[in-house]
Amino acid sequence: MTVQLMIFIIALLAIIVFYKSFNAAVYFIVIIDIFLRIFTYLKTYILRDDAFDFLTLIPANILELLQSFDLGVFNDVLLAVYIVVYIVFEVLIIKTFVKKKF
């Protein structure tokens, strides 16, 4: 296991234990994924200097982090879980949007 994956799993477990909610875990995963995607954009297009080479240790997104291991069928299972998390996130956002009164 890489250090990045261990940090992610420990933080995810802490969120699940602290909040005791599946929704909190879904929000955590999506927030971290969006943050990593924004950070990847910044390091690709803005922070291209050699002084920022240490930023290559940060994965581009959670899917890249999960697929950094060549585990065969387990990667397909992780991809399916990743897609389910995003589907649940979309349902949560749509429910919040529908409940909101304008």
Instruction: Give the pLDDT of the chain (102 residues) as one tens digit per residue.
Output: 578 888 888 998 999 899 988 899 999 999 999 999 998 888 888 877 776 777 777 888 888 888 887 778 888 888 899 999 999 999 999 998 998 876
Record the tokens describing residue 17, joined without a space.
């234990």
Sign of CA dihedral 71, 74, 80, 86: negative
Q: Give the separation between CA 42 and CA 55, rounded to whole angstroms.
A: 10
Q: Which of 66, 72, 1, 74 is nearest to 36 (CA)?
A: 66
**pTM here?**
0.81
Residue 55 DSSP label:
G
Domain boundaries, the chain: 3-99
The position carrying tokens 């261990």 is 6
